Structure 1
Amino acid sequence: MKISVDVDCTPEEARRFMGLPDMTAVHDAYIDKMKKTIEEGVTPDALETMMRNWMPMGEAGMNMWRTMFDQIGRAGGSTSK
């Protein structure tokens, strides 16, 4: 026998139902700091250091970020202003 249950709820409702903490303030602070850093200008080395400090994801995670920013850099470098 197989029983399926569909639950229609928002992410906020699911978080509360499961008893997970509300990380909205932490997320907002993180995004604000990231925006401020980018607006002030950031070098690739500074960005890598910042990511290592903020996101303890290990080497695999850093490689993902490095690849993403390399692709963005190449795409941004090919446009002319």
Structure 2
Amino acid sequence: MSVPDQFSDPRVLTLFAVLAVATGVWLATGLRARTRRIRSVTPMERVWHPQESVPLTPAEERAFGQVVSRLSLTSTGRLR
């Protein structure tokens, strides 16, 4: 079965080629975005902070404890 003359026109072939390339690019970018979204859902690795290895003085520990106690939730679920 032969192809009709209207499909052998170079403009129609170019149109189909452009549509095929655009569809391929659209699918590729969609898959990349989906992969990026899935990767961002996974929890981040814990980042080491230099102050974690520095021992605190008793005054610093006391001050830190006071700040934490102010930020802790009461039995009603509100901040103090």
Q: TM-score, normalised by structure 1?
A: 0.28
Larger radius of gyration: 2
Q: TM-score, normalised by structure 2?
A: 0.28
The structure showing larger relative contact order (alpha-carbon pairs under 8 Å, at least 6 residues apart) is: 1
